[in-house]
Structure 1
């Protein structure tokens, strides 16, 4: 029997969460009812009170209630709830978490869920599930389920949704996910413009006994990769596609945020860093590109994606950013530079081929790197088989150096 955290604002949605808890119990698992409400008294008796949750986050709930600012209360509970779930997970007291909510409840519950590791079952039944949920999900594997009707009472629709939610979270717990694959793990970043490189590198690493997980460098992919590295499950990083930093710097649509490239440094694991696709910034449809860039060079990748060529000023700044990030690495790290092009469209004869601008990036990056960072510069395009193999072999060398403590 698993213990499933049923977390919600029990002051306004206590009866709904109690119904969900009863369904979990009927299926054969044990619910743990956690109150994160900040208003009146809970409608049902929780196993963990809102005061206990607030205390875990060093929040004075009584004082917040007295001030009567609902937004402030929700924000405070969204900071406290992750603490209680982290503690319950760390102590082995919960096996999954589920919640029902509107705007405030969804904000609190998903903040708590984001504190839990990838692979831990998380289900959010929400009135907001049909919209843009990116800021609720973050880089975690939270399953969002539309509530269809408001989470306000038990009716013929909501009862059916809540029962299926109970079945879904219990099913997640019941499914065995333990992998028999015990190979050490490498993560790699890839884009359509670097697919050939990563695909050519993977067999080299697999033949050496490693499993390779590929993340699409679309912002959310980079964040997910960083999160997995932080979990401690990753042995090395093949970061071929650091393009998300171009979007972060210039204001494109695929930024992974300012912490991209930090996780490997903190983990101290071997890494290969390539300035892959830093020759481009991603935007949406052509007419959505900000007018300030009207004089720039563009390439329409498809009707929904417009690529803009980075210029020399941006490339020099990208070189400075990457150097600062890479210099913080404590594990063996090698920077691989493909001087004949950073993407499919950046090679000779292609729309974004610009050796002078690329040189601004390469020269700035290499001039600022620490002496302990190895640099390999090759007269190849990023997708040439020779460059891909060199990246894989350099990572294997770094893994060997890590094992030998050199």
Structure 2
């Protein structure tokens, strides 16, 4: 990597944060003077300084908006500059050689920076120093890998605390960029050294962990690199994103519990695109029904009143579970089947495996969520929904965490990939 120039974008509202961004730039260069810091002005008004690489008018032009920016309300300004910043950053990304993006901001600046970063490739370094980083940052990060650093004090004039925080951020983004560049060294043909790895995904929840552990180890023994996704909403969306980027060769979608949260209103919904991308792209997948007995809420006192009469289970002090009813299970089976059937471009590469003796660790006989009627409703809806399609439905007379079930799933996915 000797002699390679590192390119780091710093994007922000320079009409209000120029001093802070110039300090950030100086600290990055202090860590490594050879870094090319690309300073992008996404503010409301134009700011002049020789260090600015991309001016505010140029960012605005990339938004494609013909209106007067000064006449727009604050919310519209932010949306417009997000669009412009994304366009500018996309240009640098397309040229190759982008190694990191960093930003400073309050809520507005963070919104612009986060939206400009979220669509970037996963593992490309992304760092935001923000006044809102100590709260709920899910709306900023979504399923991306943005790193958020709390600014402690407001980003409004330099002081000893902010200098130290920004200095830490500068060292962090410089180090991440260097590490990223070293991972993406190309061979003479321009191919990444890890491009031939076969990568597969598995979805997991606490109540399906035993099965996932067995399947993961078996797939690793067969030479696959395995990505395990925690089915917490963001986990499912992250897996769908990697599938969309073409970075996965197969999926063991063992834990589809996010569909239950989407249907019933739990906190771990992954949205309507869940369970669609592998099907659309013809990626080999085995889909199961792990933890569809569960809807997730927060602490027990946060569970909506309409569910208080249901079968509640405190998974831990922060997570309370609600057992899905037979009616809900019937609808979940219908949705699962419909999403696969409607989106499959290669039905012979998709199979649905049903563990007839229990769909989670707490749904087997003798456990809190054992409900034969609900499970039968789920299985029947899936059978009916896929009847006449080319998607195979395999019924296995074990529970989902039986090692034999997990071993069989792993071997079958390998066969589908081969």
When the two structures are superposed, what TM-score results if normalisation uses the length of structure 2?
A: 0.91
Check if 1:303 corresponds to 2:312.
no
Q: Is the 8 A contact 1:346 1:352 kept in 2?
A: yes
Aligned to 1:236: 250
Q: Is the 8 A contact 1:15 1:44 kept in 2?
A: no
Counterparts of 1:5-404 in structure 2, within 5 Å, are 5-26=9-30, 27-28=32-33, 29-38=35-44, 40-45=45-50, 46-60=52-66, 63-65=68-70, 67-175=71-179, 176-177=182-183, 182-327=196-341, 328-331=343-346, 332-369=349-386, 371-400=389-418
Consecutive unaligned residues in structure 1, runs of 5 or more: 401-406
Distance across 2 between alignment mates of 1:321 and 1:109: 36
Distance across 1 between alignment mates of 2:281 and 2:414: 17
* Alpha-carbon distance, 1:134 to partner: 0.9
Q: Is the 8 A contact 1:239 1:273 kept in 2?
A: yes
Q: Secondary structure at the match of 2:274?
A: coil
Distance across 1 between alignment mates of 2:361 and 2:255: 12
* Alpha-carbon distance, 1:180 to partner: 6.7
Aligned to 1:403: none
Aligned to 2:189: none
Greater shift after overlay, 179-188 or 205-214? Answer: 179-188
Q: Secondary structure at the match of 1:41?
A: coil
Consecutive unaligned residues in structure 2, runs of 5 or more: 185-191
Q: Is the 8 A contact 1:240 1:272 kept in 2?
A: yes
Q: Is the 8 A contact 1:187 1:236 kept in 2?
A: yes
Equivalenced residue count is 397
Residues 11 and 24 (structure 1 numbering): CA distance in 2 closer, same or farther, change over 3 Å? same
Greater shift after overlay, 311-320 or 261-270? Answer: 261-270
Greater shift after overlay, 170-179 or 143-152? Answer: 170-179
- RMSD in angstroms over aligned alpha carbons? 1.7
Deviations 1:19-73 (A, max 9, x none): 21222233221111111111x321534211222223223223x5232x2411211
